[in-house]
């Protein structure tokens, strides 16, 4: 059965997209079958993995984008999967095993204009359609915006696990706290739509620290995060084995560069000049690899 994981924090810009794209790439490199959903109107992971030219075509027509399962509602999730999405400069498949369901700017309409059927919220429609393909994958990952509005709800409803990317600062801690609160509310709201086969609602399994600068001591923010995690565990508001992941991702210029190149960091590092320019490339790649392995080992 596929492990379904949402990366979520109520704080924006903490690294949800960069973590999920690079972890997904490392999982695929490990031979796992991975499907990534982009649930953020900003379309960051879609633009990253498709590059602008391919993404622009989808954005112009809306065809092939996630919102099309709701409006006009003729497409199904299985029609939207872009197999082996990553291509090199020559248009050759560069990373077998990593598939993408892209989004475009029209996803914003899901939050406002879309009315749908009140008896079947968007997350129920999505859950039914995902069931048709989920057995094709080992990991299904959801890149969410910093909220639990309708698009994120699709990921949260079907997920078994939630990971919280964080920076070592007070605002990430606030984002984590707010997330746990809103998650509890959403699980209550959606409880009557759950079926037995879905298992229990997803809880926070861990916090992943991202963008850690060399020489900066993060012990104090880490301790504060750990204290909050302990409080939530005692109150049973996060998973019983929820933790701060051992692996943390260092701050490295190549992460930002990789977006421009339209490649996961793992593949940029194979390109000599960029790797050399970024200096620490190998190290940050090894962080992402370690994180992927830690996620594989983690049992919810």
For binding to ligand ATP (CB under 6 A), which residues are involved?
A: 12-18, 40, 42, 44, 145-146, 210-211, 249, 251-252, 255-256, 259
CB closer to ligand ATP out of 69 and 252: 252
Which residues lie below 8 Å from residue 183, measured CB to CB, with a gap of 6+? 148, 156, 162, 202, 203, 204
Q: How many other C-beta atoms are found inside a 10 Å radius of the C-beta of residue 12?
A: 13
CB closer to ligand ATP out of 10 and 124: 10
> CB of 65: closest distance to Mg ion in angstroms?
16
Residues 230, 227: Cα–Cα separation, whole Å: 5
CB closer to Mg ion out of 131 and 174: 174
> CB of 7: closest distance to Mg ion in angstroms?
8
Structure tokens at 226: 């750990």
Q: For residue 23, state whether it binds Mg ion (rule: CB under 5 A).
A: no
Distance of CA 230 to the CA centre of its chain: 24
> CB of 299: closest distance to ligand ATP in angstroms?
26
> CB of 60: closest distance to ligand ATP in angstroms?
23
Distance of CA 114 to the CA centre of its chain: 24
Helix, strand, coil fractions of the chain, as percent rounded to 5: 50, 15, 35
Closest CA to 106 of 147, 74, 59, 144: 59
Structure tokens at 223: 């301790």
CB closer to Mg ion out of 40 and 274: 40
> CB of 20: closest distance to ligand ATP in angstroms?
8
User: What residue is closest to Mg ion based on CB?
Assistant: 17
Q: Decide: 207 and 244 in contact? Cβ < 8 Å.
A: yes
CB closer to ligand ATP out of 131 and 171: 171
Rounded to whole angstroms, what are the CA distances from 294 to 120, 145, 251, 270?
36, 24, 19, 23
Binding segment for Mg ion among 13-21, 207-215, 230-238, 270-278 (CB under 5 A)? 13-21
Q: How many other C-beta atoms are found inside a 10 Å radius of the C-beta of residue 139?
A: 23
CB closer to Mg ion out of 121 and 146: 146
- Interface mask (CB under 5 A) for Mg ion, residues 32-51, using x and -? ------------x-------
> If you search the block for the tokens 């194979």, which residue do you land on?
270
Q: Which of 3, 11, 16, 54 binds Mg ion (CB under 5 A)?
A: 16
Q: For residue 17, state whether it binds Mg ion (rule: CB under 5 A).
A: yes
Question: Residues in the site for Mg ion, rule: CB under 5 A?
Answer: 16-17, 44
């Amino acid at each position: 059965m596929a492990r379904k994981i949402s990366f979520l924090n109520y704080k924006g810009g903490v690294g949800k997209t960069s973590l999920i794209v690079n972890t997904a790439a490392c999982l695929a490199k490990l031979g796992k079958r991975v499907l990534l959903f982009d649930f953020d109107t900003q379309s960051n992971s879609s633009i990253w993995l498709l590059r602008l030219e391919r993404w622009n075509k989808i954005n112009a027509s809306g065809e092939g984008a996630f919102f099309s399962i709701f409006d006009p509602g003729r497409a199904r999730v299985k029609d939207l999967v872009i197999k082996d999405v990553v291509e090199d400069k020559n248009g050759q498949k560069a990373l077998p095993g990593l598939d993408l369901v892209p989004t475009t700017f029209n996803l914003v309409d899901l939050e406002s204009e879309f009315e749908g059927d009140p008896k079947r919220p968007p997350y129920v429609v999505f859950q039914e359609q995902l069931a048709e393909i989920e057995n094709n994958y080992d990991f299904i990952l959801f890149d969410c915006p910093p909220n639990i509005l309708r698009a994120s709800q699709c990921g949260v409803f079907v997920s078994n696990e939630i990971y919280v990317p964080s920076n070592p600062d007070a605002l990430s801690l606030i984002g984590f706290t707010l997330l746990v609160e809103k998650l509890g509310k959403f699980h209550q709201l959606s409880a009557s739509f759950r079926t037995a086969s879905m298992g229990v609602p997803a809880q926070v399994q861990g916090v992943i620290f991202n963008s850690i600068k060399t020489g900066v001591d993060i012990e104090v923010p880490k301790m504060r995060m750990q204290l909050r995690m302990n409080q939530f565990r005692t109150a049973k508001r996060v998973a019983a084995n929820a933790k701060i992941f051992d692996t943390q991702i260092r701050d490295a210029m190549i992460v930002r560069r990789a977006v421009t190149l339209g490649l996961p960091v793992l593949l940029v590092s194979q390109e000599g000049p960029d790797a050399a320019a970024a200096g620490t490339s190998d190290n940050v790649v090894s962080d992402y690899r370690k994180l992927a392995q830690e996620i594989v080992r983690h049992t919810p």
